[in-house]
Amino acid sequence: MVRTGLSALLVLGAWAGAGTLQASASGAPSASAPQASAGIITAMQRDLGLTRGQAEARLTAEKAATALQGEARTAAGAALGGSWFDAGSGRLAVAVTDASKAGAVRATGAEVHVVDHTERELNAAKRRLDGLSAPSGVSSWHVDPRANTVVVNIVASERADNDVRAFVARARETGLVTVKETAEAPQTFAAGTVGGDPYYTGNVRCSIGFSVHGGFVTAGHCGQAGGAVRGWDGSAIGSFQGSSFPDNDYAWVNVGSGWWTVPVVLGWGTVSDQLVRGSNEAPIGASICRSGSTTHWHCGNVLAKNETVNYSQGAVHQMTKTSVCAEPGDSGGSFISGDQAQGVTSGGWGNCSSGGETWHQPINEILNRYGLTLHTA
């Protein structure tokens, strides 16, 4: 029973445990080769079309870019237009509005792009959109530093809807908006009770995100504060100690009754388990992988940050969008880049047969909100 319980919590804890930022003494993560499991390498080969050598090289380059972000963005100063990981060059890219800042940014090791609008201007335009009431045909909006614009995503079949057109018209008044179409509206990925290795609350099945000291973190739409949580075998794990949805999509559950936490993201027997060693945030453009109780391991890229997602239950802010697929029951599960925890699965559109996009709630925001500490190896 002890071994079975550990296995179940590994599955759950793989999704539930992120914690405080783990960094070197200088505050920046090391740029040495990431200690990724064979499972992550295999999933990147499958989902990103890379060779093993390319996957390993990309993880190393992404870790270096992540370590460089703070210094490079500081060098840009008020002229900062945003930053991202350029998979083509394998380097951190930084946008600036003042060409005289280019030399200082290049000196940090980043590549430079000169643009028209600062990150502050773009974020201000996005905040104005956050203050609007969005119809269901508007799926999300975010700042795209690569295109130096605010992207508003609308559901293709709803483009002619009067409310959608009115929202787009008001959004365009900022002068910084580009409209794109998406195939489907976003939805959360909770599911009714089915078999597998999940956690349950009421008749809902979700996935653990990352282990924290004293429990695990997961998605807020999976349960409300005080709600009881059961393991795969029906035994009591604990209860929701805090939960927020919509506006946010995060929660944490305490662990007891013979269950305990481990710093592992489960490979589900198809790939190797991944140890969690920190929560340094990967840049836009970096590779990222997800583990969940329905579709297990899948990988993709970080597409956008600080995106507002317009679910039917209400808008959720400060989300990270990825090209990784997910399906019902994957909610709350782990997003990880290399060995660094990134966030917990919230929702998206599509599936893992035809493809789609998925958002996660960043892990460090959850840890800071509840004063939690990530359980790391």
For residues 208 and 11, the answer to whether their CB atoms sit within 8 Å is: yes
How far out from the chain centre does Cα 124 lie? 22
For residues 238 and 215, the answer to whether their CB atoms sit within 8 Å is: yes
161 is catalytic: no
The catalytic position among 331, 334, 337, 346 is 331
Q: What pLDDT is stored for residue 8 in this prediction?
A: 32
Give the 3-state DSSP-derived string for 20-65, with helices as H, strands as E and coil as C: CCCCCCCCCCCCCCCCCCHHHHHHHHHHHCCCHHHHHHHHHHHHHH
Asked whether the whole model's pTM tops 0.95, one would answer: no
The catalytic position among 142, 221, 298, 375 is 221
- Burial label for 168, CB within 10 Å (0-12, 13-18, 19+), is middle
117 is catalytic: no
DSSP conformational letter for 69:
H
**Beta-bridge partner residues of 264:** 275
The catalytic position among 47, 249, 330, 339 is 249
Q: What pLDDT is stored for residue 295 in this prediction?
A: 94
Q: What pLDDT is stored for residue 258 in this prediction?
A: 86
CB neighbourhood size of 35 (10 A) = 13
Beta strands at 177-182 and 149-155: parallel, antiparallel or unpaired: parallel
Query: Which residues neighbour 85 within 8 Å (Cβ) at sequence distance 6 or greater?
Result: 61, 62, 65, 91, 92, 93, 282, 283, 284, 285, 286, 302
For residues 184 and 155, the answer to whether their CB atoms sit within 8 Å is: yes
Q: What pLDDT is stored for residue 231 in this prediction?
A: 87
CB neighbourhood size of 27 (10 A) = 8
100 is catalytic: no
Q: What is the mean pLDDT of each run of 10 residues along the chain (377 residues)?
A: 29 29 32 66 92 95 96 98 97 98 98 98 97 95 98 96 96 94 88 58 93 95 96 89 98 91 81 88 97 93 98 97 96 94 97 96 98 96
Q: What is the dihedral of CA 220, 221, 223, 229, to 10 degrees?
A: -80
CB neighbourhood size of 257 (10 A) = 11
Choose among 240, 289, 233, 261: nearest CA to 377. Answer: 261
